[in-house]
Structure 1
């Protein structure tokens, strides 16, 4: 074990790493500057790795890898911020000879050193980083993954509450959760203690929408879940019967239901133009997400609505949503 004071913090270790003439992180710094430049697009080949000696373990080499990707499919982000996801992966191997071009089995790198490398690579942005822990990494040695989200102006930001951590880890497994890196910034630490380390997805400004083919599936899923939830809240009462929730292609949804009233049943149908509904939600509410649109439409039957100028066909009151309305 290297001679290192036991109370050395990750920040102090990071400073030691940056000042060590035997450790050259210039290739990573250059790549980060390139991929985080305003207007640059993240690409799979924009990655860079360096092999450096461990600062806490004797005869161990650490491979530090950095790359950037588009996180928009992993959670709710401000569509005007051009958010990018920077991932830092760390993998340690003992300095023993390779056998048939195969590296020796990896070894656990102390968490303190992991955070130190992340701070050495990311600088102050590491205050916003998360360590992604998977169930697979808890039973065998795997690369350690850290994630930080950076907006187009270079400002780091916290992750949304609906972020898909397992997809961000690239570390295998079936479940994943984030461990927030404890920030050095006292104001950020104060904020995290009072508000938590994730941003509620429903409070993200200017949320982006999925592509139409994905949006259609998300809308039906949200619509169906909302209707099921509302029916469940009614308990044994059976005021509604839903006969049909059907997706036509990627641009239309039909919902048919019966409202059981004391003075007789009333039958309703929703003809939902998905493109029109999406455009309306963007124009009026600045929220084109399928999930919120699905919840809004799904709650409509249960709010005793009054529809303007509905069309009645064969005893069914048809209501149009979207451009067709």
Structure 2
């Protein structure tokens, strides 16, 4: 009975939103606000979160993802079977410009974003497809060149994470040699390291553009990305927490590149790690909580 009532509610909402406005069938801001309010009410999302949606802030949490799916169905730019409906989404993103260029870039973005997610998860697929449409409709600008990490920055990020996570000294000796065992401490170290260096995020996984610029500029980027996605897809059944996700998808998928970087810069890494002062234990404890809050903030 409850399921029947939910479907009746959604059907009624679709009928209301299908009535043409005086401005025609073109999706306008009022339609978006109305759909967001309706879907948020149906999903039990708080008013404070709806206020964020109304100024185009869409955090990557489960409620928001399912809200976007609901809105996409109501406004016609999302279908669980077909995915992002490009023609309808262009109406939703008025600054999309050239049709062919927008379509190509949006679909490439969707393919890249969804590579490491469960294809049966409609909410996640709808959310990242929507974000791709938003991104592609933003005013174009020449992207700034990606700045590579130096060996000093690499080891400083690693040592900082080791302090925050209180990694045992015997592990640090292994890390200096480029050895990263598959254990709880090292898995979480790689998550912390990836987030601090912008090589990885919990919501989007490895930053393939940045990793390519850092490690494999001479390799065609599409070839680099294809190999990475294949590795991430193979990892999916073995991932059950955020630290394992980072270790497998950031370190193991790019292990040869990390090893080559360590080998080229081994002496610099050792010297920098040795020169960095050790914080007193009490000071580490005092700083640990706020540092972790900053470290693991992963809003889009």
Bucket of the pairwise TM-score, normalised by the shorter protein: under 0.3
Length-normalised TM-score, structure 2: 0.27
Q: Which of the pair has more CA radius of gyration?
A: 1
Larger helix fraction of residues: 2
Length-normalised TM-score, structure 1: 0.26
Larger strand fraction of residues: 1
